[in-house]
Each structure stands twice: as C-alpha cells, then as structure tokens.
Structure 1
Amino acid sequence: MARIAFILLCHKDPEAIIQQAERLTAAGDYMAIHFDASAKPEYFDQIRTALKDNPNVVFARKRVKCGWGEWSLVQATLNAVETAVDAFPRATHFYMLSGDCMAIKSAEYTHEFLDREDCDYIESFDYFDSDWIKTGWKEERLVYRHWFNERTQKKRFYWMFNAQKRLGLTREIPSDIQVMIGSQWWCLRRRTIEWILNFTRERKDVMRFFRTTWIPDETFFQTLVRHLVPESEIQSRTLTFLMFTDYGMPVVFYNDHYDMLLSQDFLFARKISPEATELKARLGALYAAENVDFKISNEGRSLFKFLAGRGRIGRRFATRFWETESTLGRERELMIIVCKKWHVAKRLLHRIRQITNIPAIEYLFNEESTQLPDLGGIQSTLGKRTRHRRALMRMLFDYYETDRLIVCMDPNNIDLLHDFSGDRSTTRLLEVQCQFTDDFLIGHAKRVGLAGEQTPRETLERLLPTIRQDITFEIDRIRDANFENHNRIREADSPEENAESIAQFLSITNDKAREIAETDHLFAD
C-alpha cells in the first residue's frame, strides 16, 4: 500500500500546521516540515514542541529564508525531501504541500488512488512551446541571471536585468536539458525522488543554471522529472486542486465550497481560507473517514470560469433576493423631485407629506444621513444605494406597501435619472427651478469643498461664474434628455402656474396642488 511522505513548506499559522501534521500522520503517513527561517521563531518553537513526540514528523535539517520567485523555495524543498528520504525508508510517494492545502479525499481513497498506477504526478509542459505562461517574461526568466528578489529588492532586480540586457550578457541553457514548466504541487515516487537527489549532486552545471533563474519552483522539478523518468510513467497533472483568477491570483476556498471540492478529481486543494473554520473541520474529519463514496464531477474550473465571466456582466450566481426582477414593476410610479437647492426640495416634500399619503424620501442618493428603514444593509452607504439602485427602490416600495413613491435627487444624478426613466415602471420628474444668488453659490462652494471660510473674496468672485455655469449645465442636460412626464415649477412663476405642474406630477386635484404651491417661504434661502 502507498505510504506518503508529505513535504510541507510553511511560514505561518502554527496551530493549523500542527493540526495538519497530526491529521495526515494519524492515517499512517509521514511528514517533513520546512518552516521558513525568516518567520517568527516562536511559531517554529510552538510547532516543534507540539510535534516532538510524533515519530512520523521530522523537520528539515537546514532551514533557509524563502522568497517568492527565488531559488530559496526549491532549496527549502530539497532540504525537506532529503530529510524525509533518510527518515522514512518505507515512504513510497513524496507529496508537496503548503500550509494552505488540505485533503479533499479520505486517506483510504488517497492510498488506493496512488496504488492504481505506478507513475509520477507532476505538471510538465514544454517551456517555450506551451502557453503555460500567459503574460510577462518568458525567455528572460532563463537566459538572464537573477540574483535579487523582485519583490523585496525591486530596484536591484531590474537594474541587474537591464544591465545584462544592455550588455548582451545572455547565457545558454544546458544543452541536454529541455526546460519544462508547471505547477509546483507534485506527487513523485520514491525512485524518482532518489534519482533527482543523485542528479543534484552530479550535475553542478544544471544546479548553477537553475539557482539564478527566476521562479525556478515552476521549472526545476518539472524539468528534472522529464529528463530522468520515461514519459510513459509521467502523468502531466497535479493532484492538488487550485485555480487562478484572470489577474493571476489564487482562488481562495471558503465554507460553502465543501461539496464542490469533494467532487473534483484531486486529492488535495489550495488555498483554504484561514477563516474557513467549518470547512477545515469537515475536511479534517474526512481524511480519517472510511468507505466514503466520492462522486467525481470535476466541474470546478469550468464552473469558476463561467461564473467569473457572468460576474463581469452582473449575472454571477443566481439573482439575490432583491434582484429577482430588473424592473421596479410595471404597475408602480416613481416620482422624482429634482432640485439643486436641497432645502427647497425638502420643504416641498414636507408639504407633500402633509397634503397626500404618498411615502416620500429625501436625498437618499446624495446624503448618507438620509433616514431609511433597515433593508438588510443595502441602504447602509451611498455606494451601495447607487450600485443597487433599482433593488433599493423595489425594497422601499415593498417596505411602504405602496405603488407610489417620491424621492429627491440632485440635478447631477443624470445617470440615475436615465436609469429610472428607462424602467418599465412609470417615472415622473418634477424639476424645481430656483434662482441662485451669489451668497447661495458661495455657500454651495463651501459645502462641496470648493472654498473654505478663509477663501479671499476675490477668489470667490472668480469662482462664481464657473459654479453658476456648472449648475446651468446640469439643468440643460436634464432638459436635453427629453424625459417623459417631465414637469417644472419655477421660483419666478405664480402659485397658480406651479400648481398645474404639481397636480400633473402627483396626479392630485388642483385644489390640493394649490395648497402645496402656496407653501410659506417655499423658495426662501
């Protein structure tokens, strides 16, 4: 039966590492741990103390400081592998893991899987002919020497690269080596591991070459396995399920991914979120289980690609409960009061509430402090309100149990006006045209941060024409949009004239509209 020596590279989360080691070795397997020499010493001491009495756990005899993209990651792996080979003579397979990996099959299933075929599992594609590298450097990783870490010593890294490039200091790849590339998460047979260790001692030229390549953990073992092992004994795949986003970042798995992970044709998965405590507990118990029947569907990657693509057009997963329709409702009326002077619109809205029973809300898309009912968090910020504008409106209609609702908006909300006017519901606009004195415009400039209390009068006077033109531009955009059901009231018009527009806007009698239009000091600043 297969006996696995897990090669664990880690640098944090000591409790998780201890649990992982205890779970995997409890099934009769082994583990060799390399804990990053640059990580917190107290973490390493905690792990050693907790596992010191476990005969199936050993620690790499020599620890190195690891850095992304560096040879140090390969060296750390080799150090752990050498320790495991000496410590566990009964190990038949050596499996690379990280602290973020967890088993997604039982130990029983895992051992039977490895016993089925005498082969090595490692992704290894031709470095130059494959499209494994999607973006960025390709040949540059190999033909130039990289001594510095690109993330921690960026200036030195690129200075050295550019200097070599200017001087034409390229190098040849060892002539008998075909460079391969693939995932660093492999599972290799004992014989293959022993061949690799012998190769590292005999071929100093190849070791010198790889030590100064960039991101060698994606090429070193992949190349050597293809060089040393017959092709018929290699499965060019990883047994660790992992996915990457379009931005090259690893997909992280959470509690609700349990069933999906178990259905994949893999033995382990990474990355498991540190916060996914329920997922970790369930997967931990799974490894010790017996007679588990796994239904392999293997849809994980295609499902992620599909859902990620739908997410770009706003249709990822099923619609949430507030997004079951794309319209406010054909039978509903949304009435929008558009006014630059917010205090005038609020005064008007207050009077409308007194005269009618129509629910009315102030500047919900402009003022964070606008009083709104608790709608499950969608109303909590201006960003959420704007992003989920139609959903928010539907929920407000439902909350007030009405088919008619009034809201206030600033004239600069032209996108919102277009959106709501394009809905299958009925949208009505009441534009409140006010006169703007210089004092009002100065106050407006201070409210929006264009001016302060100490701004000189001359500066304000130079600013006033621009502010006035900006307001005129916003109003012109609304007029040019030719919205249906667009009514206007004007500060310069009589209450009788304004009452007619208010009556049309609210669908009320002229008498009630006249009461609203005659509101005391309606347009006063």
Structure 2
Amino acid sequence: MANIAFILLCHKNPEGVIQQARQLTAVGDYISIHFDASAPKEAFNRIKSGLADNPNVTFARKRIKCGWGEWSLVQATLYALEAAEKAFPRATHFYMVSGDCMATKSAAYAHRFLDDNDVDFIESFDFFESDWIKTGIKEERLIYRHYFNERTQKWLFYQSFWMQRRLGLKREVPADIQVMIGSQWWCLRRRTVEWILDFTRQRRDVMRFFATTWIPDETFFQTLVRHLIPEEEIRTRTLTFLMFSDYGMPVTFYNDHYDLLLSQDSLFARKISPEARDLRQRLGQLYASDREDFQISNEGNQLFKFLTGRGRIGRRFAPRFWETETSLGRDKELLIVACKKWHVAKRLLGSIKHHTNIPAIEYLFNEADTWLPDLGGIQASLGKRTRHRRALMRMLFDYFDTDRLIICLDTASIDLMNDFYSDRASTRLLEIECEFSDEYLVGHAKRVGLAGAESSQETIDRLLPTIRYDVTYERERIRDANYPNHWRIRERAPTEQNVEPIANFLTVGEETARGIANTAHLFVD
C-alpha cells in the first residue's frame, strides 16, 4: 500500500499550515515542511508547537529565504526532501505541494491510484525543442549565470544579463544532461528520490550549473528524473490540477468549484482561496474519507476557456498591415454559408456543388482537416489561414480560376464576416437557422471538450443555459451587424419558403434553388 510523504513549501498562514498538515497526516501519510526563513520566527514556532505531538510531521533541517525564480526554492525543496527521506522510511512516494494545495480525492483513492501506477509523475518536456515557455527569455535562463532576482532586483538582473551577453560569457550545459522543463508539482517514487539525492551529492558540477540558472524549479527535478529514470517509468504530467488565465496567472478556486475539482483527473488542486473556508473544509474531510466513486470528466480547462471567453468580442490583436491593405478584388464575389451545425452546412454545400458549378470549400477557418489545395504552406494550419485570410482567399480564387467562391463559417466567426464584408469584393451571406435540442447541445459540449463522458448531470444542467445563450447570442450579433446581401433559411420553415433566399444568395433560377432546398435529410442530426 502506498504511503505518501508530502513535501510542503510555505511562507505564510501558520494556522492554515497546521490544519493542512493535520488533514494530510490523519490517514497515516507524512509531511515534511519548509517554512520560508523570510517569515517571522514566531510564525514558524507556532507551526512547530502546533504539530509537536504529530509523529508524521518533520521539518527541513535548515530554513532558508526563498525568492521566486531563484535556486533557493530548489534548495528548500531538497532540504525538505532529505528530511522526509530520512524520517519516514515507510514512505513510498513523495508529493510536492504548496500551502494553497488541497486534495481533490480521498486518501484511499490516491493510494490505490499510486499502487496501480508504478511510475513517476512529473512534467518533463525538452527545454529547447518544446514550446513550454510562452513568453520571456528561454535559452538565456541556462547559458548565462543569474545571481540576482528579476522581480526584486530588476536593474541588477538585466545589467548582469546584458553584460554577460556583450562579453560573450556563454556557458555550456553539462555534456551528459538533456535539460527538461515542466511544472514544479510532481509525485516521485522513493527509489527515484533516493537516486536524486545521491546524484546531488555526486555531481557537484550539475548542482553548480543549476544554482545559477533562472527559475530552476521548472527544470532541476524535471531534468534529473528524465536523466535517471527509464522513459517508460515516467508519466509526463502532474497529478495536481491547476489552470492559468491567458495572462499567465494561476486561477484561484472558491467554494462553488467543489464538483469541478472532484471531476478532474488529478489528486490535488491549486490554488484554493484562503477565503474559501467551506471548500477547504469539504476537501479536508474528503481526503480522510473512504470515498472512491469519482466520475472523471476532465473538462476543467476547456470549460474555463469557454466561459472566460464569452465577453471577449472582436480581435485580440490589430490586423497586420498587409491584411488591412489587401483586397480580394473588386471583381470577386465571396459567398458565405454560416451555420452552427456544420453537418447541415456541408450537406447544403454538397447539394449546391451538384446543382451549380460554383467552387465551394467547407469550414476552412474552423476545421483543421478541411480539404484545401497546396498553396505553399499558407493552408497548413488554422492559425496561418486566419492570420492571412485575405491572401488565402485570393489564392483560392486563383486556384479555382473563378470570380465566385463559396465558403462555410461557424456563426461564431463574426470577426471573419466583418473582415470580408469590409473588403472591396462583393460579399453575400446565407445564414442557416437550426433548432437545438438539449441532447444536441450536450453532445456539442462533449465534442468540443466542455463536458466529458462522465460529467455529472449537475454540471450539464449548469452548462446548458450558457451554451444555448451562446448560440442565440451569435445569431443576434449577425443580425445586429446589418449585413447587406444577407439571407436566411430556417429549419422550421416549409421548404418552399427557403427557395427564394437560396435563389437570391446564389443568383440562380427558382428550379435550381428548389432542388437545393429539397436536399434530402438536410436538417437531420
């Protein structure tokens, strides 16, 4: 049976630390605490006295002052790890947590999970090849020596950095080391920890190297585990659920996130708000329970992106100058079929191609695997297509050697509609208004990752009104745009009523439009 020794780095809230330690050790697990030396000594003494009667608690042999991005965070972790390895010989796993972390599963579930998965859980992606670092310096974290803290000693940090750069004082990564990067929240087996501690005593060159890198808590353990442990015994993921906003800030969880946290494929979560007393109490009780009936839907990150993105209308960045100045051409006519149900639009497009000779492309800005001709790489990804949309459309007009072209767009793509309508080319729009049952919307939520196969009915019930409103809101935005040459066909309308809008949109005869309107099973889900 697995026994976990938690490695806790903390710097505040002594009462919270005491409560967290009691909750995690109540079922027989252990905890090793490093309390930042920058915090008042009285606070540390309060923690020691509050946990003095708990044999499953130990403390790092030395307290040091820690700074974000500094080696001190790794050194503090090593001090706590050494203390835990020595004090708790029965510990089978060592799990890194902070004071903001709390369990989202029971101890029984966590122990069984670790028993069933004899591997180390740690994010470890190639430092140079991966895109794990989104902003800021990258290789400069390693090839230059960092003695100052960028947050508290910004001027000294950058003066040192630029001086080394001007003087060419680059250094090499230790020859036998492949530097990896990932989240600092890991869970390692005892054998792995013992090998890491032995490595730190034997390889002083590697220790000196990492001691002057920037943000080593994202690289040190990640690199050593990959260096020491066979690949098949590593799971490149963290067991701690965390989310980041698009500003790079960690998302904080509150009382109403309880069900969401339990449904994620993780054992812990951060950051739990100190004010979320009800959530903290419920999660604390959960860890001590015998509950194992957790339904894992894992929709947290997709759901967060969906809900936080609802109010962000318009483009995130200004268009590039070659996009704003480029036109499809005054002689060109772009026909847009807008529909939320992609399969309906695709059926209509197939019928249009059968009845007319107008070239048509399906959801080229919404669906990555839409067929497109080879256009020199501009068609390679959705990102490229969207960034260079006008250039892409001009190339498609040239490829098909036509002045008329039909494309499909999701009704959410109003920014693309606005852009095309602002062009000197003639733009026409046919909106397909479909009906949406609750069953369809639930299926849609699962297809796009807003809900999982095991999402609870309570989660679905809370999500449905938001998705339905979102569909309605997209329709209203298209109406409010007051586009010229805008027609609409409806699922509820008799087929004969849809003939005229199709005829006007395509500028075809009534019989041709009627044949298209009579497309078999057009609106069937």
Quickly name the TM-score band, shorter chain normalised: 0.5 to 0.7
Q: Residues of 2 paired with 1:292 and 1:187: CA distance?
A: 20
The amino acid across from 2:158 in the alignment is: Y
Q: Residues of 1 paired with 2:164 and 2:311: CA distance?
A: 43
Secondary structure class of the residue paired with 1:5: strand
How far 1:423 moved relative to its partner?
Answer: 12
* 1:308 matches 2:276: no
Q: Residues of 2 paired with 1:310 and 1:225: CA distance?
A: 40
What is the RMSD computed on CA atoms of the aligned residues? Answer: 1.5
Query: Which residue number corresponds to residue 88 of structure 1?
Result: 88
The amino acid across from 1:249 in the alignment is: M
* 1:45 matches 2:53: no
* 1:149 matches 2:149: yes
1:307-339 deviations in Å (ceiling 9; x for gaps): 22223139xxxxxxxxxxxxxxxxxxxxxxxxx
Query: Which residue number corresponds to residue 439 of structure 2?
Result: none
How do 1:73-84 and structure 2 match up within 5 A?
A: 73-84=73-84
* 1:54 matches 2:54: yes
The amino acid across from 1:127 in the alignment is: F
1:212-262 deviations in Å (ceiling 9; x for gaps): 000000000000000000000000000000011111100000011000000
The amino acid across from 1:92 in the alignment is: T
How far 1:291 moved relative to its partner?
Answer: 3.3
1:6-57 deviations in Å (ceiling 9; x for gaps): 0000000111110110011011000000000001212111101100110000
Query: Which residue number corresponds to residue 132 of structure 1?
Result: 132
Query: Which residue number corresponds to residue 186 of structure 1?
Result: 186
* 1:105 matches 2:105: yes
Query: Which residue number corresponds to residue 214 of structure 1?
Result: 214
The amino acid across from 2:250 in the alignment is: P
Query: Which residue number corresponds to residue 247 of structure 2?
Result: 247
Secondary structure class of the residue paired with 1:27: coil
Query: Which residue number corresponds to residue 299 of structure 2?
Result: 299
Query: Which residue number corresponds to residue 471 of structure 1?
Result: none
How far 1:292 moved relative to its partner?
Answer: 3.6
**Matched residues, percent identical?**
75
Q: Residues of 1 paired with 2:265 and 2:481: CA distance?
A: 46
The amino acid across from 1:47 in the alignment is: I
1:355-398 deviations in Å (ceiling 9; x for gaps): xxxxxxxxxxxxxxxxxxxxxxxxxxxxxxxxxxxxxxxxxxxx
Q: 1:169 to 1:278 in 2, by over 3 A?
A: same
Q: Residues of 2 paired with 1:282 and 1:35: CA distance?
A: 25
Q: Residues of 1 paired with 2:61 and 2:213: CA distance?
A: 25
How far 1:151 moved relative to its partner?
Answer: 1.0
1:250-297 deviations in Å (ceiling 9; x for gaps): 000001100000000000000001111110011011111113410000
1:172-193 deviations in Å (ceiling 9; x for gaps): 0001100000000000000000
Query: Which residue number corresponds to residue 63 of structure 1?
Result: 63
How do 1:17-416 and structure 2 match up within 5 A?
A: 17-313=17-313
1:407-444 deviations in Å (ceiling 9; x for gaps): xxxxxxxxxxxxxxx899xxxxxxxxxxxxxxxxxxxx
| Number of equivalent positions | 318
Q: Residues of 2 paired with 1:214 and 1:247: CA distance?
A: 21
Q: Residues of 2 paired with 1:267 and 1:184: CA distance?
A: 15
Q: Residues of 1 paired with 2:140 and 2:311: CA distance?
A: 35
Unaligned runs of 5+ in 1: 315-421, 425-525
Q: Residues of 1 paired with 2:308 and 2:56: CA distance?
A: 42
Using structure 2 for the length normalisation, give the TM-score: 0.60
Using structure 1 for the length normalisation, give the TM-score: 0.60
Q: Residues of 2 paired with 1:45 and 1:105: CA distance?
A: 31
Q: Residues of 1 paired with 2:311 and 2:29: CA distance?
A: 41
Q: Residues of 2 paired with 1:313 and 1:264: CA distance?
A: 29
How far 1:108 moved relative to its partner?
Answer: 0.5
Q: Residues of 1 paired with 2:279 and 2:37: CA distance?
A: 29
How far 1:67 moved relative to its partner?
Answer: 0.1
Q: Residues of 2 paired with 1:279 and 1:313: CA distance?
A: 33
Unaligned runs of 5+ in 2: 315-479, 483-525
The amino acid across from 1:289 in the alignment is: S
